[in-house]
Amino acid sequence: MNTTPQLHIRKLQNAATDLPLAQKLIDEMDTFTSDEKLVAMELICKAIADEENKPETPPDYLVFAAFIGETNETMVGHICYGETPMTHKTFDLYWLTTHPRYRKQGVAKALMERMFEDLRSREARLIRTETAGAALYQGTRQFYQRVGMIEEATIKDFYSLGDDLSIFTYRF
Ligand SMILES: CC(C)(COP(=O)(O)OP(=O)(O)OC[C@H]1O[C@@H](n2cnc3c(N)ncnc32)[C@H](O)[C@@H]1OP(=O)(O)O)[C@@H](O)C(=O)NCCC(=O)NCCS
């Protein structure tokens, strides 16, 4: 695996400057449907709005993004997660992206490590994420295993006949 030089990870918190960069990243994702892109952007917008308007309140959604470039102007990936309502210290990983041009260079692994670090400080117990069993997501399932998540459950034919739902977990 190559390593992306000068990767910089930070929380998204400024709608004026961060949203256009996030929109470009999401627009250029190759595996998401247009509906998925809308939902991914909706959660990014909500996370930034919470940061801007009520920084003292525990947010429903947290978003970190990875940047490269001299002035960190290119957003090459993002991770979005939040505490699962009505649980004790269980979190959901909702979205994880690496721009198609920057894959297999450690971007998503670095984003996961940033999330783990943040969640340790929040005394998280468990992370859950869901992904599809379709061939398109085989690489994603392998990725989750590489970063220490376990495929804990499967629901057969969840998305459509032959397309299962896989639930991956990580325990602290
Ligand atoms: C899944 C995804 C986020 C991985 O991002 P990435 O930046 O390429 O991953 P990394 O470079 O950090 O890879 C970390 C490890 O996983 C492995 N890995 C990553 N993608 C893989 C793939 N498609 N197949 C097999 N292994 C893979 C890497 O080889 C690496 O292993 P190593 O630690 O042994 O070297 C990226 O492929 C992506 O954006 N996919 C489309 C969106 C998606 O599925 N998101 C998740 C659900 S919302």
> Is a pLDDT exceeding 60 seen at residue 3?
no
d(CA 167, CA 158): 12
Q: Are 37 and 89 in contact (CB under 8 A)?
A: no
C-alpha 96 – ligand 1 centre gap (Å): 10
Identify which of 126, 59, 57, 130 has the alpha carbon closest to the alpha carbon of residue 96: 130
d(CA 16, CA 48): 10
C-alpha 103 – ligand 1 centre gap (Å): 7
C-alpha 100 – ligand 1 centre gap (Å): 10
Q: Is 114 in the pocket of ligand 1 (CB under 6 A)?
A: no
The one-letter amino acid code at 73 reads: E
Q: Which residue has the tokens 């996030």?
A: 22
For all residues of the chain together, what is the average pLDDT?
Answer: 94
Average pLDDT over residues 36-59: 92
Q: Is 58 in the pocket of ligand 1 (CB under 6 A)?
A: no
d(CA 14, CA 164): 37
d(CA 75, CA 63): 13
Compare 70 and 6 and report the one with higher pLDDT: 6
For 48-73, write each residue's pLDDT tens digit. 999 888 878 888 999 999 999 877 78
- H/E stretch holding 139 reads helix 138-146
Average pLDDT over residues 3-27: 90
Residue 138 has a pLDDT of: 94
What is the pLDDT confidence band of residue 1, given thresholds at 50, 70 and 90? Answer: low
Q: Is 48 in the pocket of ligand 1 (CB under 6 A)?
A: no
> Is a pLDDT exceeding 90 seen at residue 47?
yes
> Is a pLDDT exceeding 90 seen at residue 4?
no
d(CA 28, CA 119): 28
d(CA 120, CA 103): 26
For 109-150, write each residue's pLDDT tens digit. 999 999 999 999 999 999 999 999 888 899 999 999 999 999
Residue 58 has a pLDDT of: 80
Residue 53 has a pLDDT of: 87
Q: Are 23 and 65 in contact (CB under 8 A)?
A: no
Q: Is the pTM for the entire model greater than 0.85?
A: yes
Average pLDDT over residues 83-109: 97
